[in-house]
Amino acid sequence: MREEHAIPLSGLTTMRVGGPADRLVTAETTDELVDAVREVDDADEPLLVISGGSNLVIADEGFRGTVVRVATSGVAVDSADACGGVFVRVAAGESWDGFVTRAVEEGWSGIEALSGIPGCVGSTPVQNVGAYGQEVAQTIASVRVWDRQEQQVRTIAALDCHFTYRHSVFKATDRYVVLEVLFQLRPTELSQPVAYADVATQLGIAQGERAPLADAREAVLAQRRRRGMVLDEADHDTWSCGSFFTNPILSLERFEALEERAAAHLGADGPTPPRFADADGNVKTSAAWLIDKAGFGKGYGMPGPAALSTKHTLAITNRGGASAADIATLAREIRDGVADTFGVTLVNEPVFVGHQL
C-alpha cells in the first residue's frame, strides 16, 4: 500500500480537474483496499474512493481527507458451461475496456457493446454503465463489497443491486465499496443482438441480428470515436466525463408538455423531441437533443477553457487549463438554459466532489 500527500487529483480523472488530496493511498490488493477504508472510517475522517476517475468532477480546492485509489487486479473464471454460461470474477481496479477486450478474445459475449468506455470494473455497477443497447446489469451476477456500516465483506446478488437507468443501490449511498464483480457471460463467438441502428448499419446487418464479437467491438469503437468518447491524449474532445447529463425520463403528461414547448420554440413544423418507450409507461427523451435545440451546439464555449465537445453536445470538455469551477459554470449554464427553454431539468451523470452543480 502506497501513501502520498498533497497530490493533485486532476491527474487521476478523465476531466483533468481537481485540487490536491491531503492523503492519497493506493491499494493494490483487496485486503489493502479493505484495510485502507476501515482505517479511515475508524479514525472518522473524510473518505473518497477513486478508481478510473472517469465520472468525477473534483473541486479545485481538492479533498480534505483521505483518497483511496483502487488499483486491484485479477480476472478469474469461476465456472463455464454451455447452459449456465461463463462466470468471470473481476477485481474492481481492472480496466473496464481491458476486460471487454479479454471477453471478446475469449469468446465471452454480453459486454461487447460497452467497448471503449473508460474507467474501472468496480465503477460499472455503481452507475449501471450502459451504451449502444447494453447495460452491465444484463450480465452482472453479483457484486462483492465492503460494507462500511456493518464492517464486513458482503456479496450482493444482482436482484438486490436494484439496477435502473444509470443507477443502483451503490450510487444511492456511500455505504459500499466495490471489491469485485461476478459477470455471467455467454460462450459464443457472436455478439448479442445488435440493438443500436448506427452500429447495425456499420456492420451491414439488420438491427437485432448478431455479428462476430471482434467486428461488433470495432463497430462500437468507431461510433464512440466519431463522438469523441474514446480517450485520446491528443484530442481535447475526449478530456471529459463522457455523457455529462442523463437522458430525461418523463411521465406522458410531462412529455406532452415538452412537445408543446418544443413546438412553441422551434415552430409547429419544426423538429420534435425524440421519444422512447419506458417499461413503466414513461417516456425517455434525448438530453443531447434538448441541449442542441436550446442553443448549445457542438463546440459551444470554444475556445474554452471549458466547452462542449466539437463532436457531441452531451460531453462537456476540458480544452486545456480548465478548472473545476469552469466545468461547473458551463454545466450550470446548459442545465438552466434547457430548463428555461423546454421546462426539463437535466441531471448530471458525473459525481461532484467538494462542490455542487
CB count within 10 Å of CB 103 equals: 25
Surface-to-core class of residue 11, CB atoms within 10 Å of its CB (0-12 exposed, 13-18 middle, 19+ buried): exposed
CA distance 143 to 125: 8
- End-to-end Cα separation, the chain, in angstroms: 34
Phi, psi of 108 (to 5 degrees): -110, 115
CA distance 218 to 199: 10
Return the SS3 of 301.
coil
> What are the CB-based long-range contacts (under 8 Å, 24+) for 86-89?
86/184, 86/185, 86/186, 86/187, 87/141, 87/182, 87/183, 87/184, 88/182, 88/183, 88/185, 89/180, 89/181, 89/182, 89/183
What angle, 0 to 180 degrees and rounded to 10, lies between the N-to-C axes of helices 213-226 and 96-106? 150
Residue 324 is classified by DSSP as H
Surface-to-core class of residue 24, CB atoms within 10 Å of its CB (0-12 exposed, 13-18 middle, 19+ buried): buried
Return the SS3 of 356.
coil
Closest CA to 305 of 236, 238, 242: 236
* Residues with a known catalytic role: 166, 243, 349
Return the SS3 of 150.
coil
The cell 448479442 sits on which residue? 192
